[in-house]
Structure 1
Amino acid sequence: MTFEKLFTIVTPLMGIAVLGLIMIGYGFVNPSQQNNVLQFIFGIPIALGAIGAHFLILRIVRNNTLSMWIIEAIIVGFLCYAFPKM
Structure 2
Amino acid sequence: MSNTVSKIAYRPVGIVLGIAAGALAGALFKQVWKMTGGDGEAPDPTDEHRGWGEIVAAAAVQGAIFGAVRAAVDRAGATGVRRLTGQWPD
Give the shorter-chain TM-score range: 0.3 to 0.5
Higher RCO (CA-CA < 8 Å; seq separation 6+): 2
Say which one has the larger Rg. 2
